[in-house]
Amino acid sequence: MKMTAYVGGVGMTPFGKHLDKGLKQLGALAINEALADAGIDAGQIQAAFMGNAAAPIITGQLCIAGQAVLRGMGIGRIPVVNVENACATSSTAFHLACAAVSAGQYDIVLACGFDKLYHQDKALSFKVFTGAIDVEGVADVYNYLAERARRHGETFDIANAGADRSVFMDIYADWIRDYMVATGATARHFAQVAEKNSYHGSLNPKAQFRDMMTADQVLAARPIVAPLTLAMCAPLGDGAAAAVVLSETARRRLGLDKAPRVAACLLGSGWDFAPGEAPMAAQLSKEVYEQAGIGPEDLSCVELHDATTPAELMYYEFLGLCAKNEGPRLLESGATRLGGRIPVNTSGGLTRKGHPIGATGISQIAELVDQLKGRAGARQVAGARVGMAENGGGFIGSDAAAMTLTVLTV
């Protein structure tokens, strides 16, 4: 669908450990900030798409999380759709909001993602991620990972997968080993991504981690799954992010001339790939560029899903920021650092900003809006005009189960 939607306002909480705050409080903080940014009140919202992924396990809240958050703010009567789509949950909510506005159903729609992942029992937190693979095929996935690890001379620790770490760290490690063979990438490259993003995150007052790390410190951090160390992996976190999506009519009526336009917003799902077929991100990126009428050379900045830092290098290639197998070289050139040709993850990315999975996608949108409106402070990309967000989640077959790609322009 051709999008004719605008982002009138965004808001987000700081990401991190919020043991003293529930879903309702976190959601309200982000929503109120987005409403204030758009210059509207809650009574002007005509529909809401509310994204949450972990609450059923962490808090016990099922089925009506969106209504619970909104009722706590005095918002009711309007259509509310609860959305869950793995780590792409809130970007899916944003996609649905944009589609509803573009179809002419509504003029002002709220999209929100809110989540809690911290729990005293860390195994319960990791259970959320185990549920993001096919639970009727867990044995098949584990056997697949074990066989793939053996090919690289590694061992898949089945006993502790999903118990002392997210099983997605094992999935990423599998992809990463192939990538290292194909490109010559090393663990130091992955540490350099972490170093870069720690610098970006140090400039973001809402980032979960704001300390700067050197590549040597990243390499010396606690091992998780070879070749990953703790500092190369996104942390558990709590938080919320929200966006107010507007029609052209509403944008004009509200006088929001600088509201970024949604040039494209695509949602895809994993499938069984034919041998040699490009992964979903590479295929969707071609479609999103076509829909937006741009190419990767037109991008000012990118927020992408670095659940592990090596994934950032892989997505450089999938998104066309560089040629195949050239991710390490692009990093080494400094192009993806603030001040470079195409800064990536100026927010600090998932590994530094944080990754409360139901809120992550819209937090990327919030960063792009701040960049395009020239209000990102010390991490501002000069002259930013076009931004892209890539947000993926879950695992099906041999790829992500869900993925969104969004392009915003001013």
**Does pLDDT of 269 surpass 70?**
yes
Provide the number of structural domains found in the chain: 1
pLDDT tens track for 119-140: 888 888 888 988 998 989 988 8
Helix ranges (DSSP H) in 305-383: 309-318, 327-333, 349-353, 360-372
Region 80-109 average pLDDT: 98
Known catalytic membership, residue 322: no
Question: Degrees (nearest 5) of the Cα angle 260, 279, 367?
Answer: 25
Among 136, 85, 36, CA closest to 391: 85
The residue among 119 and 405 whose pLDDT is bigger is 405
How far is residue 26 from each of residues 9, 57, 373, measured CA to CA in Å? Answer: 17, 17, 25
- Residue 337 lies inside a defined structural domain of this protein: yes
CA 110/CA 8 separation, integer angstroms: 10
Looking at residue 146, what is its pLDDT?
87
Q: What is the CATH number of the domain that holds 15?
A: 3.40.47.10
Among 259, 258, 238, CA closest to 118: 238
- Residue 159 lies inside a defined structural domain of this protein: no
- Residue 231 lies inside a defined structural domain of this protein: no
- What percent of the chain lies above the pLDDT cut of 90? 82
Share the mean pLDDT of the chain: 95
Burial code of 331-363, b = ≥16 C-beta within 10 A, e = fewer? beeebbbbeeebbbbbbbbbbbbbbbbbbbbbb
pLDDT tens track for 182-235: 999 999 999 999 999 999 999 999 999 999 999 999 999 999 999 999 999 999
Cα dihedral sign for 315, 320, 321, 326? positive
Question: What are 201's two structure tokens?
Answer: 């995150």
DSSP state of 222: P
- Residue 142 lies inside a defined structural domain of this protein: no
CA 299/CA 301 separation, integer angstroms: 6
Q: Within 13 Å and on the Cβ side, how many CA atoms surround 111?
A: 37
DSSP strand E in 167-307: where?
A: 223-225, 228-229, 239-246, 261-269, 301-303
- Residue 264 lies inside a defined structural domain of this protein: yes
- Residue 138 lies inside a defined structural domain of this protein: no
CA 208/CA 348 separation, integer angstroms: 9
- Residue 181 lies inside a defined structural domain of this protein: no
DSSP state of 343: -
- Residue 197 lies inside a defined structural domain of this protein: no
Question: What are 290's two structure tokens?
Answer: 């076509």
The side-by-side arrangement of strands in the sheet containing 301-303 is 80-83, 47-51, 108-115, 239-246, 5-12, 261-269, 402-409, 386-393, 301-303
SS3 276: coil
* Chain position carrying tokens 């010559």: 184
DSSP state of 81: E
CA 91/CA 389 separation, integer angstroms: 9
The residue among 166 and 53 whose pLDDT is bigger is 53
Measured from the Cβ of residue 71, the count of other Cβ atoms closer than 10 Å reads 13
- Confidence class of residue 1 from pLDDT cuts 50, 70 and 90? low
Query: β-strand 47-51 against 108-115: which pairing, if any?
Result: parallel
Q: Among the options 63, 87, 112, 322, which is catalytic? A: 87
SS3 12: strand
Question: Do residues 239 and 115 make contact, with C-beta atoms less than 8 angstroms apart?
Answer: yes
- The range of the structural domain enclosing residue 12 comes to 5-119+236-409
pLDDT tens track for 277-316: 899 999 999 999 999 999 999 999 999 999 999 999 999 9
Among 347, 371, 19, 10, CA closest to 206: 347
Q: What are phi and psi of 165, to 5 degrees?
A: -165, 160
pLDDT tens track for 318-327: 999 999 999 9
pLDDT tens track for 343-379: 999 999 999 999 999 999 999 999 999 999 999 999 9
